[in-house]
Amino acid sequence: MNVPARQRAAAPTAVVTGAGRGIGRAIVLALVREGFDVVGIDVVFEPENKKKGLFEVKERVRGLGGRFLPVGGDISRLEDHDRMLDAAVGVCGRIDVLVNNAGVAPLERRDILETSPESFDRLMSVNARGPFFLTQNAARRMAAQKPRKDGVPSSIIFITSISAVVSSTSRPEYCLSKAALSMASTLYADALAAKGIGVYEVRPGLIATDMTAGVKAKYDRLIAGGLVPQGRWGLPEDVGRAVAALARGDLRFSTGAAIEVSGGMAIRRL
């Protein structure tokens, strides 16, 4: 995506963090299929690597006939935020959708009585503090833009987790970081409603990604035992479809909503 903005078709633009793999990759592809130009941000930036990461995603988007701009950056580094968003605006002219997807799990699962301050600070920095301030920066830019003539609404989407509301005492810092991000979504929904920017939360459940590969056997057993009413692992594409619906504006009168993509794990059952 290197054509100057003034020469390009005025497609809506989405910025997706953590775009190089897993859920982020699926979100990018879902948005491209909806006609969005996508700016993908990831901490891993390897232009020579076409088999995985941002540049594999770029090749896949090209095959779909879409436009994708890879941008390297670490959302936990606030000093990176202007550069990342400037790159999006410089090429695409504006930002219509921000998807806060990037996040990390603990390097090691430990009981709550053994959680280290270092792990706590790492997760809060990447999963909560970084997205909060990236959203602040992007929202200021979005609020200053004129509404799109094609009716595509401005929106901000936070990818949290079922762990925002479900206890997991072997990774408390992850739960706390996602609960904080969930409240950030609520706060921004309240603050930005009058500015015409919808804000939504998507809560994935058990999604088959690199992040969950290490606990696959455990959750295979739990799913077989009925943990997930729909009886399977979620796929990154399941989350991508939910994000695409929100970005299209299908739920434009539902700002502040939390959409769970978990196969029914939130259902209270006897």
CA distance 166 to 160: 12
Indicate which residues carry an active-site annotation: 161, 174, 178
Q: Are 160 and 178 in contact (CB under 8 A)?
A: yes
Please provide residue 35's backbone torsions phi and psi, each rounded to the nearest 5 degrees. Answer: 95, 10
Degrees (nearest 5) of the Cα angle 39, 142, 246? 65
**Minimal CA–CA distance to 185: which of 148, 155, 143?**
155
Residue type, 144: A
The 10 Å Cβ neighbour count of residue 35 is: 13
Place of tokens 């054509």: 3
In Å, what is the CA distance from 180 to each residue of 117, 135, 187, 249? 17, 14, 10, 25
Long-range contacts: 91-94, Cβ < 8 Å, 24+?
Answer: 91/1, 91/2, 91/5, 91/39, 92/1, 92/5, 92/8, 92/13, 92/37, 92/39, 93/5, 93/6, 93/8, 93/10, 93/13, 94/13, 94/141, 94/145
Three-state secondary structure string covering 185-223: HHHHHHHHHHHCEEEEEEEECCECCHHHHHHHHHHHHHH
Looking at residue 35, the DSSP 8-state letter turns out to be T
